[in-house]
Structure formats: structure tokens, C-alpha cells
Structure 1
């Protein structure tokens, strides 16, 4: 309950920080918040052009059409994009908000929540684009799509935990900011986001299956693309692990925050 206590008692503050963060990201842009919808389209066009048309990639067990491959690819990119946005920002989260560190009464762990909700907003926009394309190209949206929030919920909790760990360590180990970018890029290509696990040589598959994004990406495709029920047992195990990581991350953050002011 400790990982929810601060959020529960400061919900309005978290939502205000999230709102300011989202609006600040698009402040001054001609299209404003529309870029949250335009960017996913552009990203999908680039990856579909590269993998669908130039490299002629196709997903095993599908009809082999470019549109279906684009949707399958987009699900993986959307899930990875949410995780990568949070982890890549985490190292500078505390360092970039020194004014909050100096205020003893400010709950610094809320910064991770606001960062996560900001990434969730972009995940929502990407999902809207995905569903619109699926309706346009396939003429239907599966009822199991309603289960998508339950599929990504364990990943959200895991991401919050990783955010606490990385943001706390980023205050003392500034080099970690250079490392996480490489790690998140590796997690994209070493997951099922772009590469089907079945096409990977068997003695290398454990690397893909050990990637925490692979399972969520696969289950997201099951409920959104193919209209199947998710693996409830797998999601339950993932949820327990995510809670453990988040609890450890919050404990580590609260312990290290005592030295933030001295370092900054």
C-alpha cells in the first residue's frame, strides 16, 4: 500500500503536474495537442515503409497483408514507447526538479507518478490511432479490446517501480542517463515488438522471453488484433512481480531521497 499512499492522498497534485507536463510539451506548436495523434501516424508510416515495403517483412501465422503487419507492428511500438518514455526520462527527473527537492514537504515520489501518467496519455492517443486504423482497414474492433487496460496494468506498475529506482540512482550516478537510452533501444529489438519470437533461433529465444515487454506485447496483440482472451495466469504472475518491483523501488527511493539535497 505504500506505493499508492502518496498518490492516493495527492491525486489532485499528480493530475495537475501531469496536465502541466502534457501541455508544456506541445506549447508553442502550431498543431498543439494534435501532435499526440499525428506523431503515431508518422511513426507507423516510417516503420511500415521500412519493414513492410522495403524489407518485405511478414508476421508468421497471418494473412501476410501489409496492413495487418502494420497493425501488429504498431501494437509493439506503442507498448515499448510507453515504457521507453518513462525510463528514458527517469534519470533526470529529480535532477531537473531541484526546486522540489529543497521543499521538505513536497512528496518527491509523485514526480514518477506524473511522469507515468503523461506517458499513459500518449499511450492512450496511440491506442486511439490503432483502433481507428483497425476499424478502417478491417471494418471491426474486437470486443476483447476492452481488456487492453487490464493487459497493460501490470506493465504500468512495473514501470512506476523502475521509474523510482532509476530516478533515485540518477541523482548519484549521472552516467545512468547515458545507459538507459541504449537499454531501451535494445529492449525494442530484443522483444517481440518488431521480431516474431518464433522466427528467432531457439537457443536465443530466452533473451526475448526474458524481456519484460515481450509478454505484454504478445497479450496486447491477442486482445486487440486477434480478438482472443489474454493469458490470465501469466498476467497474474506478472502482476505479482510488478508489485514486488514497485515496492522495492519505492523503498529504495524513500531511502535515497534523504541524500538528494546534499548532492544537488
Structure 2
């Protein structure tokens, strides 16, 4: 057995000897909210190690290495800015003279939020299918795979946020202190993303077509979210429907703290956090209840 598998087996509490003996892929697993946080805490070191390995492994062998994680968001913001502000002559309408670079910064916030959610959702259906050995051959806490996917997505979002803040400093010669609230704004999205990832990871084992659906869904969601336009640009009758989009509040509040230097709507964010936690608990429950059938299907 490889060193990688040995580390993973040792990390699981149900197999303290690390020998894989007595493994039962059909056993029931705790699915309570407390079990969700216990699993995260108990396996925090393993999650960190595997997330770091995944991030580094993504760029291993390339000439630029991790520099690609910085170059890609810069390239994308340049492309989107050219298309929407030069070709389509789009303007955000924030008052005063709005430069193309200023439009790019506002637009980039929406891309960061959507990108975090989309990366988790798009990877979810393949999480178990691409790690069959963890299901059949070793005792492994499968429920941490979505945390690893989230960690990788958060790394990309962190790099993109650094690019955004640097652009703020060089272009607008300002950086609002309210930017420190940005991680709190993302917290409801983090929990909601985890819930959907657990759910789709489990469903993806039984319904292989779900991977095709998620790609289409996240693409459509990008254009049905206030990424390339402000919500105020829509007629009032459509704004009501746009507010049902879970990304709308997160994107709008993120722009408040990062771009406009305003305080977030704490009441709305508190409600969003409760909803996000509810989605996470429901997704974790579904994953834990359905995982005992993974070995039979795979």
C-alpha cells in the first residue's frame, strides 16, 4: 500500500491500527450537525495536507507553476473588461466618470463569488467517482472530500481577491477598511456550497449524467446573477426574481465592503448564514445516509 493510503487510513478513527482490517463500506455513519463539525475538526490536518497537495499538484510540471493561479484571474479580468466595456460599451453607473478599469474591478467581485460556488458544484459529481479506492480498499473519511474541493476553490478565490485589492490600490489609490468583512460575507456561501457539494457528490455516484447538468447550471447561473450588471439595471418586476438567486445577496454585499466601502446588511447576512448552515446540514445528512451504497454501485 502507498504512503498516501497509509496516512489516510491512520487518520480515520474507525481504524486506529491503520491496517484496513474489518472495513465495512456498508456501515451506517453519523449524519447529525454535530457529526459534521466533529468530522471537520478531527480530520483538519488531513484536509489541510490533501488540499495543499491538490493545489500544488494542479500546476506541477508547468513552467510557471503556482504563478498560473495569479496570471489566470488577471487574464480573465482583462478579457471580460474588453468584451463588456469596449465591445458592448457597458457601464456600471456608479456615478461620476467611470473608467474601464473601474468597471473591471466591480465586475471582478461577481466573478470571484460565482467562481467559488461554480468550482465546488462542477467538481462535486466526480468527487467519489474519481476516488474509488477510498470507497473500496481503504478506510477513509469520504465526507472530507468536499472540504478538500472547497479548500482548493478558496485558494483560487484568495488569489483572485489579492489581485482585486492590488487593482484597487493601483487604480483607485484607495483600499477600504471594510474589506475585512469580506470573509464574513462569504461564510454563508461556503456552508451552502458544502451542502450542495455533499448532495451532488452522492447523487453523482448513482446518476452519472448529473455532471453534465451542473456545468450548464453554473454557466446559466453566472448570467442570472448580478455579475456583469447591477441588480438596479433590471426592471423592478425582475429584481424580485433575481433576489431568489442565492448568489445575488453575496455578490451585492461583497461589492459594498470591497468596492464602495459600506457596511454589509447584517440582518440579511444573518439570515443567509442560517440558510447556508441549513443547506450544509441537509447535504451532509444526505451524503452520510447514501454513502453505504457507494461500494455496490462502484
TM range (shorter): over 0.9
1:165 equivalent to 2:204? Answer no
Q: Cα offset for 1:104?
A: 5.6
Q: Conserved in 2, the CA contact under 8 Å of 1:2 and 1:247? A: no
TM-score by length of 2: 0.87
Q: Cα offset for 1:201?
A: 2.6
Within 5 Å, give how 1:252-263 maps onto structure 2. Answer: 252-263=286-297
Larger radius of gyration: 2
1:126 equivalent to 2:160? Answer yes
Q: 1:206 aligns with which of 240, 245, 248?
A: 240
- CA displacement, residues 133-152 of structure 1 (integer Å, 9 cap, x when unaligned): 00000111100001111110
Q: Which residue is equivalent to 1:30?
A: 63
Within 5 Å, give how 1:94-243 maps onto structure 2. Answer: 94-103=128-137, 105-243=139-277
Q: Cα offset for 1:204?
A: 2.3
Q: Which has the larger share of helix?
A: 1
- Mapped to 1, the partners of 2:161 and 2:218 lie a distance apart of 21
Q: Between Structure 1 and Structure 2, how many residues are aligned? A: 264
Q: Which residue is equivalent to 2:100?
A: 66
- Mapped to 2, the partners of 1:99 and 1:206 lie a distance apart of 46
Q: CA RMSD in A?
A: 1.0
Q: Which residue is equivalent to 1:11?
A: 44
Q: Cα offset for 1:103?
A: 4.1
Secondary structure in structure 2 of the residue aligned to 1:109 = helix
1:84 equivalent to 2:84? Answer no
Q: Which residue is equivalent to 1:53?
A: 86
- Mapped to 1, the partners of 2:184 and 2:146 lie a distance apart of 21
1:21 equivalent to 2:54? Answer yes
Secondary structure in structure 1 of the residue aligned to 2:237 = helix
- Mapped to 2, the partners of 1:27 and 1:84 lie a distance apart of 23
TM-score by length of 1: 0.98
- CA displacement, residues 197-225 of structure 1 (integer Å, 9 cap, x when unaligned): 11123332233211111100000000000
Task: Flag structure 1 segments of 5+ consecutive residues without an equivalent.
Answer: none
Q: Cα offset for 1:195?
A: 2.1
Flag as ranges the 4+ runs of structure 1 deviating above 3 A: none
Task: Flag structure 2 segments of 5+ consecutive residues without an equivalent.
Answer: 1-33
